[in-house]
Structure 1
């Protein structure tokens, strides 16, 4: 499928911990299984090989189905920047790119997250159909990350995530 558009979602979050702690939560499988596309109570797989060209994988089990998210690390500059690919092969072969940048603040750190989202569309769609699909993908992606970042904040600041699915 080569009929697609792209859009970029950017989100900024502050944490009351050092950037090293947040960076670790993106790469440590024990931390990933608590917030990253999954919850500890529904996680079946959380593994990664955090090096350039290394891969990561999360499998979350909900409502009787497995949801698999995979990707490859493109850049790792601890504790400042992480760039990796993201795709869910059960839905399509499209691959997004995610960039996480961290900078220390006087108190804690700031995370700037961006995802280049590939939005598939049908051949006969009008411009308004494409705009609608882009907005729906972007809004849905933003809502998903919003909830994940709530879990991430709780995890890095308290050591646990209270909601377990």
Structure 2
């Protein structure tokens, strides 16, 4: 298990290439017209940026997860193309992490690797749906890390990107032999 200092990680994430993040959001979110930095209250509720869209569409909330080094750019055994997903926001108090918290205002999560400018943009609610069901399994299977704020400790798991995206796709697919939108099995014809 790896340990990270929360304050150091926070300083780093706040100093990321904001222009790069803004460009990604404007380019990838249909009808986006402006990107605004969220205030502190919004940030605590899962919003780092608001994406304004053409009227009458409401603004979208984006939570940005900045990582300093893109381990997918490495070669050999230290190469890793993963997403850090928070299991516990406060380990001792058993406060669930942002990835499991369906009350978050977040619409999208953007992972941004500062050294390569690589990114992954994922809709939050499908991610939350999948992670709530698989976090324990993934915590047993993949590497975890604890982040220490000095006041509380949080824990995340590093799940391969393709595993997360595949799980979201499988979870949200509906068809013959799978659960229908109403939670019932589809009848065979």
TM-score (norm 2): 0.27
Q: Greater strand percent: which structure?
A: 1
> Which protein has greater RCO, CA pairs closer than 8 Å, 6+ apart?
1
Instruction: Indicate the structure (1 or 2) with the bigger Cα radius of gyration.
Output: 2
Q: Greater helix percent: which structure?
A: 2
